[in-house]
Structure 1
Amino acid sequence: MKYYGDLRSFITALDEMGDIMHVQREVDGDFEPSAITRRSYEIQSPAPLFHKVAGVAPGFRLFGAPAALSSRSDMPYARVAMSLGLAPESSGPEIIEALSAARFKPGIPPVRVESAQAECQQNILRGDAANLDRFPIPFAHDKDGGRYANTWGTLIVKTPDGKWVNWSIARVMKVDGKRMVGLIVPSQHIGQIWTQWVARGEPMPYALVQGPAPAISCVSGIPIPAHADEADYIGTLAGEPVPVVKAISLDLDVPATAEIVIEGHVSIERDCQEGPYGEYGGYLGEGSSAQPTFHVETITHRDDPIWPMSITGRPTDESHTLWAMGLAADALTYLREAELPIKTTWIPEDSTVHWLLVVMPENWRELLPGISSEELTQRIGEVLFKTDAMVFIPKVYVVDDDFDPTNLREVVWALSTRVHPVGRRAVFDDQRVIRLPQCYDEAEYVAGKGAKVVFDTLQTKRHLHASFAQGYPEEVRQRILDNWPE
């Protein structure tokens, strides 16, 4: 296992395993980088690194699909695993266990370095020179409301009293060279902090960090408890402190090895239209909403900086790998804290974060004596739907552990044959609903409430599978394997 302390060493490692596609020809500055990245997701190709982008200075680069499925079929989650300092061959459940386990370990606080030691401040742009137009920011999709300046960067903000520093990912659209507009959801952590600045009548300082150490991007995009420090949690995953440096113009610390840091203040009003944007559910966006303006005041960057991007849409992109794993790890943590003997949790990539599988061990009835599967299903829903992260998940399936939850073919087989047409489910009405999940009616979006469901697919008796593994004597199977192919 190896932790990558900056984006460049991570890209080099991926390149060495054949998982980088070097695009050396010049690409346009509008749609071509995004379209290539989107196709790379859909055919599971190496991650594209764009070396020449029209309209920007030589040396400025774009990097697509940083945490998507790997092109290596023998290690599909390698980009996520390596980002977190895990072995590239780690399975999905192993990554989820690591994310959950780190929440119970002491955090390792970041360490501040001097500006001269911080690669992110090799170049400092102030005033009119601090302009987004100099960077290769493409349109993500052709129906979007503008160029999206943030799809995989980390937003750093803190409460006015300085007690809570939050690192997160939220989509931010470029308005012009000196302004951006970001989607700030009141229930999310950045929304809670922005609300405190609004109450004070002061614009919120922010730093938007592009291309930090991959673990920073990953942790910024997954749920951890409110008021927890992402920097400390990343230090735990890395086994070493994150080096940070004081921002040039703000009282915020930023990752020292980042590629680009944008500094400024966020308006206290929702004074600019944001969107539409093609989101993780797999559909092009429609409509826009009033959101706060992010004013650009100072920009710092490394020499020949790399701007990473996630082009969300149909599976499989970072929303369906890293973010889904983070949500599953959050669910696993809360269920185990409720003393339920969960084997693992998993969100199939192709469900676009609309399904959660809760996997029970074969002996769960022995571990929960006197509890029926109906009662277990109800309890699982009661625990999960109280958590913030589950606002995104409308459907939960409680399943046995006799199939591989990460194999979509097996998931479809198991759910198709075990979900009862009308019964064996716990319905939870009047749950929190936001517009990002695609399955609700307009009236439910307006009301902010709708139903969620937990399906009980647990077998009263384990049935043997009509399969090679379970349908033949062991000596026959071994003889066939020894002579395969004939």
Structure 2
Amino acid sequence: MKQDMKHYKDLRSYLQALDEIGDLAHIRQEVDGDLEPGAITRRSCEIDAPAPLFENIRGATPGFRILGAPAARSSRKDMPYARVALSLGLPPASTVPEIVNALLAARQLPGKKPVRIDAAGAPCRQNILRGDDANLDRFPIPFAHDTDGGRYANTWGMLIAKTPDGRWTNWSIARVMKVDGKRMAGLMVPSQHIGQIWAEWVKIGQPMPYALVQGVAPAIACAAGVPIPAGIDEADYVGALWDEPIEVVKALGVDLDVPAHAEVVIEGHVSITRDCPEGPYGEYSGYLGTESSMQPSFHVETISYRDDPIWPLVVAGRPADESHTIWAMGMAADAMALMREAGLPVVSAWAPEESAVHWFVVVVPNDWREKLPNTSSEQFARRVGELLFKADSLVFIPKIFLVDDDIDPTKIADVVWALATRVHPRRKQAVFEEARVVSLAHCYEEDEYASGRGPKVVFDTLQLPIGEGRLRHASFDQAYPQDLRERVLKNWDSMTTSPR
């Protein structure tokens, strides 16, 4: 894994790499800072355009910039996941399985603790704001969608918090809405790690210290956006991925360490009550939100930032954006680890982008019956559901499909064909009636959202073993002898080129 890895220690070196492969668009024409960056970023995701870097934002301090779609699909058709691959230090042409395997491999390595450096030389300390000067109004925070409840100060930044006893420091991505220059409201989901840590501070009755960090090294942002087991520090995980520790500095006003090469660092405390309305917000399911909820307030006390800072922007919505790339890859890595630890034979896993993280496909080997003797496919499907539907990392997934290894889960045509021709209308379904339900999954009824419980299902599409009745594909690869296929491919260009 390491021989071809090249790590980008800050956002700016990563942008240089995107520039080199033609996957960065420098937007020098003036844009309206309210909604135009959101609209351009959303269209960029929908047509797989280069990542937009907005360099001239009306009303913003000269030099302040916004980066849209930092880890969405690439504009390079020959390397569709280049942004995620480069973020993790992999070659830009890496495939989904290669990226997932890299995430898996890093989990098996001993973590490397971050190293604290002299703050005087840290790029994130080039400018420091305290007291009334520490105000969000000086930063170009746009609206992501026209119906959002406010400008979202966090869509691809990283929240840092640690337990009151200091045993666990969590770096994670969660949506945070700007309320005014001195306050934000953040969605605090109990099943997510940031929500679990906040609950510990609530229990002791003390506001939670936090840092919201924008524009970190791309591997750090990816690690913050993928599921890692509770109690594991993301900083240590990235250190293992890099094979060297992350450089950090002590925060200015709270007892936390922050990445030294970040673009912007916001510090303060989080209230212990849900005292501020947050939302609505357009989400990964592809729909604009219509409701708000009461969430904790994030009070802004200190801000530091680099010269000419870059603020990353993710505009969640219909596939595909970062919710459907790096998040899905993290889910796949976690599911693979869980299934292998449980002794279940599995080849790969993937949440097809087109499903908006509502489908999860598990691919099993043809010889799974030898590895699980006396187990029917229906029993196999139930074991998979019992394991994955209990995992915090997959709580958002309502439907799992168990498929044979003749299906590539990253090719939506393969997946749709298998589901259309191998899913029985009634049988071979492992239904879990009282599974955990979260409000962000878009396929449930109001009473199920209210109770937090609803059905989930594993569809068993597994066929008979090869040589025991399984039908071959009516395809070029399987319906013709190898020598004929080789001859057709060799002569393809000359046979299919029309004479002038």
Q: TM-score if structure 1 supplies the norm length?
A: 0.99
1:297-376 correspondence to structure 2 within 5 Å: 297-376=301-380
Q: Deviations over 1:178-209 (max 9, x none)?
A: 11000011221111111111122211110000
Counterparts of 1:97 and 1:306, CA distance in 2: 30
- Measured in 1, the distance between the counterparts of 2:345 and 2:9 equals 36
Structure 2 residue 408 is the aligned partner of structure 1 residue 400: no
Cα distance between partner residues in 2 of 1:445 and 1:402: 36
For 1:260, give the aligned amino acid. Answer: V
Separation (CA, whole Å) in 2 of partners of 1:259 and 1:475? 58
1:122 is matched with 126
Contact kept in structure 1, 2:116 and 2:248, CA below 8 Å: yes
Structure 1 alignment gaps of length 5 or more: none
Number of the residue aligned with 1:21: 25
- More deviation, 216-225/144-153: 216-225
Alpha-carbon deviations, 1:446-486, whole Å to 9, x = none?
01100100000000143211111111111221112112223
8 A contact 2:11–2:215 mirrored in 1? yes
Match of 1:65 among 47, 58, 69: 69
- How far apart, CA to CA, are the structure 1 residues paired with 2:367 and 2:354? 29
| Counterpart Cα distance in 2 of 1:254 and 1:482 | 57
Match of 1:145 among 144, 149, 171: 149
Residue 117 of structure 1: CA displacement? 2.1
* Counterpart in the other structure of 1:471: 479
Q: Do the aligned partners of 2:124 and 2:260 also contact (CA within 8 Å) in 1? A: yes
- 1:287-298 matches, within 5 Å, as 287-298=291-302
Between stretches 81-90 and 250-259, larger displacement belongs to 81-90
For the residue of structure 2 that corresponds to 1:15, the secondary structure is: helix
1:411 alignment counterpart: 415
2:489 corresponding residue in structure 1? 481
What is the aligned partner in structure 2 of residue 188 from structure 1?
192
SS of the residue corresponding to residue 105 of structure 2 reads helix
CA-based RMSD of the aligned residues comes to: 0.9
Q: Quote the Cα distance in structure 2 between the aligned partners of 1:20 and 1:462.
A: 47
Name the aligned partner's letter for residue 238 of structure 1: W
Secondary structure of 1:33's partner? helix
Spell out the pairing of 1:34-113 with structure 2 (5 A cutoff): 34-113=38-117
Distance across 2 between alignment mates of 1:347 and 1:107: 27
Task: Give the letter for the 1:473 counterpart.
Answer: P
Secondary structure of 1:98's match? helix
Cα deviation for residue 367 of structure 1 reads 1.8
SS at match of 2:84: helix
Matched, 1:459 2:463: yes
Q: Secondary structure at the match of 2:329?
A: helix
Identity, in percent, stands at 67
For residue 451 of structure 2, what is the amino acid of its counterpart? A
Rounded Cα–Cα distance in structure 2 between residues aligned with 1:293 and 1:245: 25
Match of 1:281 among 285, 297, 312: 285
Alignment of 1:175 onto 2:158: no
Structure-2 separation of matches of 1:133 and 1:193? 28
- Partners of 2:321 and 2:398 in 1: CA distance: 20
Q: Runs of at least 4 residues of structure 1 off by over 4 A?
A: none
Q: What's 1:160 paired with? A: 164
List alignment gaps of at least 5 residues for structure 2.
496-500
2 CA distance for matches of 1:127 and 1:470?
69
Aligned length: 486
TM-score (norm 2): 0.96
